[in-house]
């Protein structure tokens, strides 16, 4: 009976918390939202969900219903939207046309264009709709660029690497404070600071942001953010949210997966998801939508990594998979909480989190390490089979493990051989070995995965390979910049004469995490 009562109280608390959260555009605008997206009023579905209403949404919706149902009124949906919504700001006039010959100087000048000011107090509490879908933050922050007009979770860590090299310590701290605010306000760090992102998070890099800041300001930073570190951990372990991230493995150990709590088309990609799931049975459609959303939570949206058949989006199975990178990040989160407890003079709690971390590491070894291949792979807990596809996610364990030097070097040597024979290309590390038209597959390479691979190789005795990857990646950035005056979201690392492609939207420039990783890698190469 006590367990039942506890469950009821937990659900009541979750319902109450959810009721206080801003509603996403599909719930605010109802059929108007659906009609606008399906009519493709804007080429990019993200445009409408970022629009700010000119008046109370309840009035807009009532007017829309009245006009739509009146056959005597000649009606233009496009004009209705233009009359009732402020169009989202166009991408700012960045220094896209090269004015600085030196790419590092260009990036340092670009931070100001990517900066957004604090906005928590800008709108009256009586008129919160004036924020649109944006979740205001109490401190300034850096956005990626292009269509990405808000802060993004895992992007921001890699952006911070470059901010550090640029001496922008205050901005790093502001962004860490913003993420702590999001945890305190919503119980987790959403994909980005938009109401339509609240149903999911992204790869949990907050602990690494705290570590980065602690490296600048000292270990007291760990205790300053200890509460938020634990809150994020509880979110991922399903203790404070109605999610199902935690999975009990056959041996009783607990590992984690990506899992969006909603099972409807993504609001910012409504047409794509509607078309993916619109022609299948209701239960299958819900599963498809949840998997698409969970793929977005992974940051790898989308990749053959998540497909049962590499070239078929319809076989997406994100929620069946134990991702090696996610579990390594949670391992690091457990270690970081332990460090915060030690710094805060709570040795018994520190020991408990250290124990959790070691149990997770052993489970990662059991389910994700393949001694024959010498590499780490994802694991499908539904089929009870380890994946065989080599992806850049497999390097994450060597970024965080603290094994004896001989063991680290043995792993590094084995994994370096796999990387050289599969993922290493002219412009750096390719994401996977499959070419599918998805943006997180070949021929594309992404800044965060270059950094994690270089980091992993440096920590495991493969410094020569680490420098080689860094040189290839920075050279590709420089080549594209010299030709276009731009820094891109992603690059074609196989044929460096061609642009990157694939995905649901055109390749974006700006670009936060590319700027950050480039500056950090150049600093590393100069040491």
**Active site positions, annotated:** 301, 489
117 torsion bin: left (phi>0), alpha (psi -120 to 50), beta (else): beta
Q: Could you tell me where the beta strands, DSSP code E, fall in 369-455?
A: 369-370, 375-376, 379-380, 385-386, 424-425, 428-429, 444-446
For residues 148, 149, 155, 160, the Cα torsion angle rounded to the nearest 10 degrees is 140
Contact 151, 520 (CB under 8 A): no
Exposed/middle/buried for residue 102 (C-beta within 10 Å: 0-12, 13-18, 19+): exposed
Beta strands per DSSP E along 106-258: 115-116, 141-142, 246-248, 254-256
- Spell 240-258 as b/e; 16+ CB within 10 A means b: bbebebebeeeeeebbbbb
Q: Is residue 444 classed as helix, strand or coil in its secondary structure?
A: strand
Beta bridge partners of residue 509, listed in sequence order: 488
Within 10 A of 239 (CB to CB), how many other CB atoms are there? 12
Nearest to 323 by CA among 344, 349, 303, 352: 303
Coil/strand/helix, residue 80? helix
What's the rounded Cα separation, in Å, for the pair 258 and 262?
12
Written as six digits, the tokens of 474 are 């920075």
């Amino acid at each position: 009976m006590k367990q039942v009562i506890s469950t009821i109280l937990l659900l009541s608390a979750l319902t109450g918390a959810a009721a206080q959260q801003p509603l996403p555009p599909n719930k605010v605008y109802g059929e108007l939202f659906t009609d606008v997206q399906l009519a493709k009023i804007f080429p990019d579905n993200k445009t409408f969900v970022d629009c700010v209403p000119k008046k109370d949404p309840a009035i807009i919706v009532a007017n829309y219903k009245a006009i739509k149902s009146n056959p005597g009124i000649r009606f233009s949906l496009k004009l209705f939207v233009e009359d009732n919504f402020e169009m989202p700001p166009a991408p700012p006039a960045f220094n896209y046309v090269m004015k600085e010959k030196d790419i590092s100087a260009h990036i340092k000048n670009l931070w100001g264009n990517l900066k957004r000011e604090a906005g928590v107090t800008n709108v009256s509490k009586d008129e919160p709709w004036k924020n649109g879908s944006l979740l205001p933050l109490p401190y300034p922050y850096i956005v990626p660029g292009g269509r990405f007009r808000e802060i993004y979770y895992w992007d921001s860590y890699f952006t911070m690497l470059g901010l550090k090299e640029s001496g922008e310590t205050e901005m790093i701290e502001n962004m860490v404070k913003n993420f702590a605010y999001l945890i305190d306000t919503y119980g987790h760090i959403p994909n980005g600071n938009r109401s339509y992102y609240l149903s999911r998070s992204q790869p949990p890099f907050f602990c690494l942001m705290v570590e980065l800041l602690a490296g600048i300001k000292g270990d007291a930073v760990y205790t300053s953010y200890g509460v938020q570190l634990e809150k994020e951990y509880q979110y991922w372990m399903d203790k404070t949210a109605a999610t199902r991230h935690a999975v009990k493995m056959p041996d009783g150990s607990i590992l984690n997966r990506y899992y969006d709590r909603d099972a409807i088309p993504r609001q910012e990609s409504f047409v794509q998801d509607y078309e993916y799931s619109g022609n299948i049975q209701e239960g299958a459609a819900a599963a498809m939508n949840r998997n698409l959303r969970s793929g977005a939570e992974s940051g790898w949206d989308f990749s053959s990594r998540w497909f049962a058949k590499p070239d078929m989006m319809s076989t997406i199975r994100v929620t069946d998979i134990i991702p090696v990178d996610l579990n390594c990040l949670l391992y690091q989160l457990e270690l970081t909480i332990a460090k915060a407890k030690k710094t805060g003079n709570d040795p018994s709690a520190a020991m408990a989190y250290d124990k959790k971390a070691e149990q997770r590491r052993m489970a990662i070894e059991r389910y994700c390490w393949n001694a024959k291949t010498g590499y780490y792979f994802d694991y499908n807990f539904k089929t009870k089979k380890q994946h065989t596809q080599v992806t850049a996610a497999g390097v994450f364990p060597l970024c965080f493990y603290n094994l004896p030097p001989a063991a680290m070097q043995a792993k590094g040597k084995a994994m370096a051989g796999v990387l050289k024979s599969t993922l290493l290309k002219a412009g750096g590390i390719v994401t996977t070995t499959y070419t599918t038209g998805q943006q997180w597959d070949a021929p594309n390479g992404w800044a965060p995965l270059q950094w994690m691979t270089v980091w992993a190789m440096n920590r495991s005795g493969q410094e020569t390979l680490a420098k080689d990857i860094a040189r290839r990646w920075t050279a590709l950035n420089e080549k594209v910049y010299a030709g276009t005056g731009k820094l891109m979201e992603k690059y074609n690392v196989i044929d460096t004469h061609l642009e990157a492609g694939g995905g649901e939207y055109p390749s974006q420039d700006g670009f936060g995490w590319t700027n950050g990783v480039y500056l950090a890698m150049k600093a590393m190469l100069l040491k």
